[in-house]
Amino acid sequence: MTSAQFRRVVYSYYKRRGRHTLPWRQTHDPYCIMVSELMLQQTQVPRVIPKYEAFINKFPTVGSLARAELGTVLVLWQGLGYNRRAKLLHSAARAIMARGGIFPQTKEGLEALPGVGPYTASAILAFAYNTPTALIETNVRTVYIHHFFVDKTVVTDSELLPLIEKTMDTKNPRAWYAALMDYGSHLKQTVGNVNKKSAQYVRQSKFKGSNREVRGAIVRLLTQKGLATVGVIVKETGFTRERIELQLRALLEEGLIQKDGQRYSL
Measured distance CA(101)–CA(113) in Å, rounded: 13
Contact present, 244 and 217 (Cβ < 8 Å): no
3-class secondary structure, 22: coil
Dihedral sign, Cα of residue 33, residue 36, residue 40, residue 44: negative
253 catalytic? Reply is no
3-class secondary structure, 26: coil
What is the number of H-type helices and E-type strands within the chain?
Answer: 14, 3
Which residues are within 8 A (CB) of 203 and not within 5 positions of it... i.e. 6 or more apart? none
Burial class (CB within 10 angstroms; exposed 0-12, middle 13-18, buried 19+) of 262:
exposed
Catalytically active residues are 37
